[in-house]
Amino acid sequence: MQRIDFNESWEFFNGKDTMIVNLPHDAMLYENRDRTNPSSGAGVYFGGNRYSYRKKFQINDCGEKNLIL
């Protein structure tokens, strides 16, 4: 069985900017902390946001082989 590491070169979008990141990745690194956030200490004062990660890859003809992602 061939293993391929899919952790590298993910496209990360935080609502404003797109950047290439490797997983694991912490989206909160780009957010500001604010003591007035409803999450308070439980959320380490981060307000949060919507984030998306995308990875494109091509699967060549597998023939009779099983493919597990």
Measured CA to CA, the distance from residue 44 to residue 23 in angstroms comes to 21
Per-residue pLDDT tens digits for 26-66: 988 888 888 887 777 666 777 778 899 999 988 877 777 77
Q: Using 50, 70 and 90 to split pLDDT, how confident is the model at 21?
A: very high
Residue 66 φ/ψ, nearest 5 degrees: -80, 145
Q: Using 50, 70 and 90 to split pLDDT, how confident is the model at 1?
A: low
What is the DSSP code string of 7-61? -SSEEEE-SS-EEEE-SS--GGGGSPB-TTSTTGGGGTTB-----EEE-------
Whole-model pTM?
0.70
pLDDT of 53: 97
Per-residue pLDDT tens digits for 49-59: 889 999 998 88
- Pairing state of beta strands 10-13 and 52-54? antiparallel
